[in-house]
Chain A
Amino acid sequence: AQSVTQPDIHITVSEGASLELRCNYSYGATPYLFWYVQSPGQGLQLLLKYFSGDTLVQGIKGFEAEFKRSQSSFNLRKPSVHWSDAAEYFCAVASTGGGNKLTFGTGTQLKVEL
């Protein structure tokens, strides 16, 4: 069964600092990988996705993520964090064998200090 681990429950960074959120997945083949962001009381907004090809993918709001097959990781990065980036971030995996059920990690809560 597929699974996702986000080892950091909470992360605090200063505005303008760089950010990396970790995500490790378990899946038998190359999965579809996603990062979503959730602001308080809101639904999920898609930041970026990886299906195949270039392992460095660019998303919205200046975010990027790198797929590393050897480490089963898909870490999210941003070179300079803005106060408005404070939110909860979810990594998710979907199977590629038909059906697009998403399996989510438990999320990382990002706090940005001014």
Chain B
Amino acid sequence: DAGVTQSPTHLIKTRGQQVTLRCSPKSGHDTVSWYQQALGQGPQFIFQYYEEEERQRGNFPDRFSGHQFPNYSSELNVNALLLGDSALYLCASSFGPGGETQYFGPGTRLLVL
């Protein structure tokens, strides 16, 4: 049973660039949520996708956008990167947007220089 997978594992970008992170949910799951974890902090909710639509959004600017594909995989896009966007980006999947339990992937470590 494949768990949540994310790619790439690490990424280095410069300020102003754009980045795309990818996530495949756990088998049988149809909902994907994205979280940002800054160094020394707990994860912060960015947004959630279900049925190819954004269903919930946290307190993040419009520079953060996403997409969900028919196979339930998802992308997180960040435009106009800032130094403060450096973080571990975690993807979590669940069955349904109200699914009781979310399972997390290993994350993508983004460094913005």
Contact = CB atoms under 8 A, between A and B. Distances in A.
Contacts of B56: 99, 101
A36 interface: yes
B104 A43 contact: yes
Nearest to A45: B104
A100 B43 contact: no
Q: Is the interface of A mostly helix, strand, loop or mixed?
A: strand
A107 B106 contact: no
B45 A43 contact: no
A43 B98 contact: no
B55 A43 contact: no
Interface residues of A, number: 25
Contacts of A99: 48, 55-56, 97-98
A28 interface: no
Contacts of A4: 42
A49 B99 CA distance: 13
A56 interface: no
A49 B42 contact: no
Contacts of A90: 42-43
B27 to A, nearest CB: 16
Interface in A75-114: 90, 92, 94, 98-107
Contacts of A43: 4, 90, 104-107
Interface in A16-46: 32, 34, 36, 41-46
Contacts of A98: 97-98
B42 A100 contact: no
Interface of A: 4, 32, 34, 36, 41-46, 49, 51, 90, 92, 94, 98-107
Interface of B: 4, 31, 33, 35, 40-45, 48, 55-56, 58, 90, 92, 94, 97-107, 109
11 contacts: A42-B106, A42-B107, A43-B107, A45-B104, A90-B42, A99-B55, A101-B33, A101-B48, A101-B56, A102-B35, A102-B102
